Amino acid sequence: MPYLTAPEALESLLPGEPRYRVDQVREWLYRHPVLTAGEMTNLPRELRESLAPRLWPMRVEAEHVGDGGKTVKWLFRTPDGAAVEAVLMGYPRRTTLCISSQAGCAMRCTFCATGQFGFERHLQAGEIVAQVAYANAHLRAHPMEGAPPRVGNVVFMGMGEPLANYDNVREAIRRIIEVMGMSARAVTVSTVGITPGIDRLAREPWPVTLALSLHAADDHLREQLVPQNRRYPIDDLLAAARRFGDSHGRRVSLEWTLMADVNDGADQARALAAIALELGAHVNIIPMNPNPLSPQRRPTAERTRRFVDEVIRHGATATLRDTRGTDIDAACGQLRVRAATEGAPMGSPRNKVPAQDRAESPSNP
């Protein structure tokens, strides 16, 4: 499995091949990925045939297309049965890929579809990087109108808490930056707040972007939404965020999933603005995606607008993110929820769903 082997150790998979051939394979895997080994045109036929059945470490179980072809969601399945979700979003002049770092998640955030299923296992570095390579191969084969032909931003906001799978996520980041050639600033690691992991990340050589999934401005409410807050309360989290900012001169961002009658009131908006101002952080507000397994609900558009205005009125910078791919269950864990609650077809390969409505960022949840 080429992606499950470190790029520097590929020769172990290609015994007897000269160094330049190993370099060519590495180029195909990381710099110019293609969907099938048959497209690796400068390799001899026998080598292409030997790579073909083991090119990807997981198969595509479903591919859903929404937003007029501008959002693509994949449900991958590893040979041991783990489900992995990734969402590609094309915009004018940029493309963003949301990737998973774990199959399932142990954090059990109450509003998140993935959290309701519990933890399956950590993803290996190669399984994480393969999501980026596959999206690049897809863009090469199926360009998105107006969007660049490569993934421009990678966000760890799919299934899993990336800092709970630190070593594999670190190795994936290294390959994405040093082997694939992406900018560190184009990589965003989103966390509910594993503070030792934030401190480790701050010591790495890559100035990636850190996104804190805050969702509540006081410990009492946050413990109800993000159980992990009992272990790492808000003050600890903000202190770690400050240390991270100091280490690379990078501002963090605050993610806020907006839930009706839970965290969409004026008091939470004011407290959020105060935290953002103190941290010098930008706020991203994401109306909650529908999730039949969660007691929380999405607020109305009017209440959402009022919350955003209140945060801005108190001096913070904030962006309201639409939710991409609502029509294709693009938020993390939602394909699995649909399958579990409605018997949605997950077994048919490349199950394409046509675009319906406008929508936006899948984000976590």
Return the number of the residue (202 or 286) whose C-beta is nearest ligand SF4. Answer: 286
Residue 254 in contact with ligand SF4, rule: CB under 6 A = no
Stretches 29-37, 87-95, 154-162, 346-354: which one binds ligand SF4 (CB under 6 A)? 154-162
Which 315-334 positions form the footprint of ligand SF4 (CB under 6 A)?
Answer: 332
Which residue numbers are catalytic?
85, 332
Query: Position 34: which residue type?
Result: V
Q: Could you give the 3-state DSSP secondary structure of residue 120?
A: strand
Residue 109 in contact with ligand SF4, rule: CB under 6 A = yes
Stretches 35-43, 157-165, 336-344, 355-363: which one binds ligand SF4 (CB under 6 A)? 157-165
Question: Residue 238 CB, nearest distance to ligand SF4 (Å)?
Answer: 18
Residue 155 in contact with ligand SF4, rule: CB under 6 A = no
Nearest to 298 by CA among 257, 332, 346, 329: 257
Stretches 130-138, 156-164, 177-185, 351-359: which one binds ligand SF4 (CB under 6 A)? 156-164
Is 131 within 8 Å of 176 (Cβ atoms)?
Answer: no
Stretches 7-15, 30-38, 68-76, 153-161: which one binds ligand SF4 (CB under 6 A)? 153-161
Q: CA-CA distance, 354 to 67, in Å (whole number)?
A: 8
Return the number of the residue (112 or 275) whose C-beta is nearest ligand SF4. Answer: 112
**Pick from 115, 197, 287, 362: which binds ligand SF4 (CB under 6 A)?**
115
Residue 168 in contact with ligand SF4, rule: CB under 6 A = no
Beta strands in 7-166 (DSSP E): 59-66, 71-77, 83-91, 94-98, 102-104, 119-122, 153-156
Is 147 within 8 Å of 103 (Cβ atoms)?
Answer: no
- Cβ atoms within 10 Å, residue 199: 15
Residue 127: HSE in the Cβ half-sphere, 13 Å Cα cutoff: 25
> Which ranges constitute the DSSP H helices of the chain?
19-26, 45-51, 113-117, 125-141, 166-174, 195-202, 219-225, 234-248, 266-279, 301-313, 334-342
Which 192-221 positions form the footprint of ligand SF4 (CB under 6 A)?
Answer: 192
Binding mask 31-60 for ligand SF4 (x = CB under 6 A): ------------------------------
Residue 160 in contact with ligand SF4, rule: CB under 6 A = yes
Question: Residue 293 CB, nearest distance to ligand SF4 (Å)?
Answer: 11
Q: Which residue is nearest to ligand SF4 (CB)?
A: 115
Number of residues that bind ligand SF4 (CB under 6 A): 14
Residue 287 in contact with ligand SF4, rule: CB under 6 A = no
Q: Which two tokens stand for residue 196?
A: 């030792």
Is 215 within 8 Å of 234 (Cβ atoms)?
Answer: no
Which 14-33 positions form the footprint of ligand SF4 (CB under 6 A)?
Answer: none
Nearest to 181 by CA among 26, 360, 343: 26
Residue 107 in contact with ligand SF4, rule: CB under 6 A = yes
Q: Could you give the 3-state DSSP secondary structure of residue 77?
A: strand
Nearest to 193 by CA among 225, 226, 170: 226
Question: Residue 29 CB, nearest distance to ligand SF4 (Å)?
Answer: 28
Residue 337 in contact with ligand SF4, rule: CB under 6 A = no
Residue 286 host element (H or E): strand 282-287
Rule CB under 6 A: which residues touch ligand SF4? 105, 107-109, 112, 114-115, 159-161, 192, 332, 364-365
